[in-house]
A = this chain, B = another copy of it.
């Protein structure tokens, strides 16, 4: 790949830019203290994220009409609160907990790396997160996006091809001018299939110390990097 052909970097967000698991655990523990709850928040966070792909699949398959991620998170949360025996929360409290996804913390290298990359490339999100979630997260975490695109504006969840193709079209670019950045081989495979260039950034603790998936690049992606700083260096920024 010639970096000179790349005009925009499009980013997966959950796991690639932000550390959702540690952030949710921290949010859960603070929430638990404030409400006098005894909950295993690590198990809670993993269970919540565990419902993510099944929920998306209901939308992708058409069994659920288009539903934004905030609302899918809330459906999953309501179910988990019952399963974990957490009752008597006000609507405002449940909504606050659901919006923990708007307050996720970036990986330590993310802001510095994005800031370097932004000097040369358009930076757009290509996440399954809805626009408001990603916008609020960016304001919270200081993520310098040029554009928040992805699933909600395409009304298709990744890895459906429309999520990628609509994002490239809105950027006024051909897919080959877009470099998809993700910590997930599956996301890169789907992006590559519609013509995107691909950059794998290793996030070996996204799922905690015992992570078994996406520990290494599964194909010869255009770029493989250890962090966003490393990605910037490899792209000549």
| Chain A interfacial positions (CB closer than 8 Å to B) | 70, 122, 124, 130-133, 135-136, 138-139, 146-149, 152-153, 170-173
Contact = CB atoms under 8 A, between A and B. Distances in A.
Number of copies: 2
Contact of A173 (B132, B149, B170, B171): B132
A63 B163 CA distance: 28
B131 A171 contact: yes
Given A132-B173, A172-B130, A146 B138 contact: yes
B70 A172 contact: yes
A172 B171 CA distance: 22
Given A70-B172, A153-B170, A122 B135 contact: yes
Contacts of A171: 131-132, 135
Q: Identify the 8 closest CB pairs spanning chains A and B, nearest first.
A: A132-B172, A131-B170, A153-B153, A147-B148, A135-B147, A135-B146, A132-B171, A122-B135
